[in-house]
């Protein structure tokens, strides 16, 4: 047995993962998967899946949707199958994005995937970059972060306050604490290696990651532990008018800043 893929029953029993259901699972076909977290994304997830079809993503990676409890009818099983989706995992336990991601990572690792790419289901990111993420994983990178701010990347209609906060607060703070010069740290278009996610010194499967903590935490701790990290230029487009985001308003942005500072103070590090 490949020990890189082996998870002991003892270790697996320590994972704190929300309850979930799997309405669709057609089995693992590729070494890597693309995980798409969604909740009531409507036409946006359908548009993203169509763009992924054009890029033939399903020919190089298995597409798995992790649903946080959508009620808008946008995830019909037959339509997902036709769009090349191999799995639909529905989180039934409590929590927001970080809880969804714990479900997705646990499910993917249980299936034996060597690496996981995540892309938001709100259709702001260009899936054209996914093959380059997978190639980076194949060449030994453990953490790939999309960046709209690198040369070759593109930021379209990013709200001015968010642009300022990412460039001058969020990324610099995480860069200083982690030792890696991040440029774009709030978006979920990323890729992780299996060995990194299974490291007990990182321990992502903890209930402390319930809302939006996990992304900042991984950006902070993974470089400090010596894993290979890399940013790749990508395109991120906000549509004109309404901004498709689950984080909005004064309270939402304040919670992101609070998580950032708690991360920098190592509040989420494993206690033992």
- Whether residue 42 lies inside any domain: the answer is yes
pLDDT for position 130: 98
Q: Is residue 63 part of a domain?
A: yes
Please report whether residue 189 resides in a domain.
Answer: yes
How confident is the model over 19-35, as pLDDT tens digits? 999 999 999 999 999 99
Cα dist from 43 to 50, 75, 199, 206, whole Å: 11, 10, 37, 32
- Averaged pLDDT, 154-177: 95
> Could you give the percent of the chain with pLDDT greater than 70?
93
The verdict on residue 28 lying in a domain is yes
- The predicted pLDDT at position 249 comes to 52
- Which domain does 178 fall in, by range? 17-264
Q: What's the DSSP call for residue 241?
A: S
Sorting pLDDT into bands at 50, 70 and 90, what band is 243? low
- What global pTM score does this model have? 0.93
Confidence tier at 61 by pLDDT (50, 70, 90): very high
Domain count of the fold of the chain: 1
Q: Is the pLDDT score of 1 beyond 50?
A: no
Does 269 fall in a domain? no
Average predicted confidence (pLDDT) for the chain: 94
> Tens digit of pLDDT for each residue in 203-214?
999 999 999 999
Q: What pLDDT, on the 0 to 100 scale, is given for residue 5?
A: 67
Instruction: Give tens-digit pLDDT for 92-140.
Output: 999 999 999 999 999 999 999 999 999 999 999 999 999 999 999 999 9
- Confidence bin at 253 (pLDDT 50/70/90): confident
By C-alpha distance, which of 239, 214, 43 is closest to 125?
Answer: 239
Q: Which is higher by pLDDT, 142 or 240?
A: 142
Q: What is the mean pLDDT of residues 137-162?
A: 96
With contact defined as beta carbons under 8 Å apart, do 193 and 142 qualify? yes
Q: What is the CA radius of gyration of the chain?
A: 17
Give domain status of residue 9, yes or no. Answer: no
CATH number at residue 46: 3.90.550.10
Contact assessment for residue 93 and residue 19, using Cβ atoms and an 8 Å cutoff = yes
How confident is residue 2, by pLDDT bands cut at 50, 70 and 90? very low
Q: Where are the beta strands (DSSP E) in 124-249?
A: 143-147, 154-156, 190-193, 229-233, 235-237
Question: Shortest CA distance to 266 belongs to which of 211, 225, 205?
Answer: 225
SS3 263: helix
Residue 12, in any domain of the structure? no
For residue 3, being part of any structural domain is answered with no
């Amino acid at each position: 047995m490949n020990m890189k893929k082996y998870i002991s029953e003892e270790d697996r029993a320590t994972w704190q993962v929300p309850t979930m259901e799997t309405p669709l699972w057609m089995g693992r076909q590729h070494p890597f998967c693309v995980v798409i977290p969604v909740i009531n994304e409507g036409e946006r997830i359908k548009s993203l899946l169509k763009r992924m079809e054009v890029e033939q993503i399903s020919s190089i990676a298995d597409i798995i949707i992790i649903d946080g409890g959508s009620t808008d009818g946008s995830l019909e099983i037959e339509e997902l199958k036709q769009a090349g989706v191999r799995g639909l995992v529905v989180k039934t336990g409590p929590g927001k994005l970080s809880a969804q991601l714990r479900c997705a990572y646990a499910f993917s690792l249980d299936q034996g995937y060597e690496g996981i790419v995540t892309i938001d289901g709100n259709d702001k990111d260009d899936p054209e970059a996914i093959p380059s993420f997978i190639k980076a994983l194949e060449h030994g990178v453990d953490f790939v972060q999309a960046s709209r701010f690198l040369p070759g990347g593109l930021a379209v209609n990013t709200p001015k306050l968010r642009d300022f906060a990412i460039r001058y607060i969020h990324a610099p703070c995480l860069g200083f604490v982690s030792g890696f010069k991040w440029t774009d740290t709030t978006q979920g278009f990323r890729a992780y290696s299996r060995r990194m996610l299974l490291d007990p010194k990182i321990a992502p499967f903890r209930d402390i990651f319930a809302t939006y903590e996990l992304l900042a935490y991984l950006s902070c701790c993974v470089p400090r532990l010596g894993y290979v990290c890399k940013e790749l230029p990508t395109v991120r487009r906000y549509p004109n008018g309404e901004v498709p985001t689950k984080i909005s308003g004064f309270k939402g942005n304040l919670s992101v800043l609070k998580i950032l500072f708690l991360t920098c103070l190592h509040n989420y590090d494993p206690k033992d």
